[in-house]
Amino acid sequence: MKLQHYLGGLEGLPEITTLEKRVFVEEWEKRIFGIHVAMMGLSNHLGSALPGYPIDEVPTTFKDEWTWADLRTGAEAMNPFDYFKYRYYEKWLGGITQFFIDKGYVTEEELTARMTEPAPTETETKPEIDDQVIAYLRNGDSPRRDVAHPKLAVGERVRVTNVPAGSHTRLPGYLRGRVGTIERIFEGDYAYFVHTGDGIGDPMPVYAVAFDPVEIWGPRAEPGPETLYAELYEAYLEPTKEQS
């Protein structure tokens, strides 16, 4: 059980006194964000994405897959105390650096050395790399693969499954075992970047499911009219007993 999967609804946290409206609070954060976007735009899976990118022709030495699933898996794998301790882009910096070390692109020694020595200034210009990254930003990477083939219907009461989560999930922990109502069936079947081991990965219907907060939180729900909606893959839902 990972705290990161059960963040929604966690109690005992402090009052929110101000909204930090900046996207980046330190200049260095911009650099790691840019590196992450570049990795997503150069990821080797984009050759089979929609639209199909000519990824094999891009003159980058990056030959791995890097998607949100990789970044999220890393964040979900963190020591939960560290997850709260470090700022958003500190977590990215740690996860992305470790990825490049693990995959053999850079070594710890090179990184340590480069932190103290000035970098070489002469570099080859390969605009095709940058063009591919920007093309990815413009055209995206839709997970939709087909029209929907839903087994569940709008208005149907459904229970969220309680299948054990692996290293990564798209099922918010606070919804496990809860009963909600199908509000909407989305138009397509939607894949996920990876098979998470808890049922998602292959294209499948996705539903907007409405939950009464009292069903989720019991007597500790906040008073007043509220509805919580989550978008859930079909693998995370089952018909309630009274209907099956």
Partner 1 sequence: MTGQFAYPPDREELSAKKVAALESLLIEKGVITAQTVDKVLAYFETEMTPLNGKKIVVKAWTDPEFAEKVVDDTPAAIAELGLPEGMAGAEGEHLQAVANKPGVHNLVICTLCSCFPWPVLGLPPYWYKDPVFRARAAREPRKVLAEVGLELPDDTEIKVWDSSGHSRYFVIPERPAGTEDFTDEQLMELVTTESMIGVALAGPVS
Find the binding residues for partner 1 in span 54-113 (CB under 8 A). Answer: 59-62, 68, 72, 75, 81-85, 87-88, 90, 93, 96-97, 100, 105-106, 110-112
Quick one: tokens of 71? 């970044």
Quote the least distance from Cβ 242 to partner 1, whole Å: 26
Q: Does 224 bind partner 1 (CB under 8 A)?
A: yes
CA 234 to chain centre: 18
The pair phi, psi for residue 218, each rounded to 5°, is 65, -145
Quote the least distance from Cβ 108 to partner 1, whole Å: 11
Q: Does 162 bind partner 1 (CB under 8 A)?
A: no
Across 59-86, b (16+ Cβ under 10 Å) vs e yields ebebebebbebbbbbbbbebeeeebeee
Q: Determine which residue in the list 144, 157, 159, 195 makes contact with partner 1, applying CB under 8 A.
A: 144
| Helical ranges in 117-182 per DSSP H | 127-139
In the bound state with partner 1, the residue whose beta carbon lies nearer, of 81 and 241, is 81
Cis previous bond, 143, omega within 30: no
Touching partner 1, residues 114-133 (CB under 8 A): 114-115, 119-120, 123-127, 129-130, 133
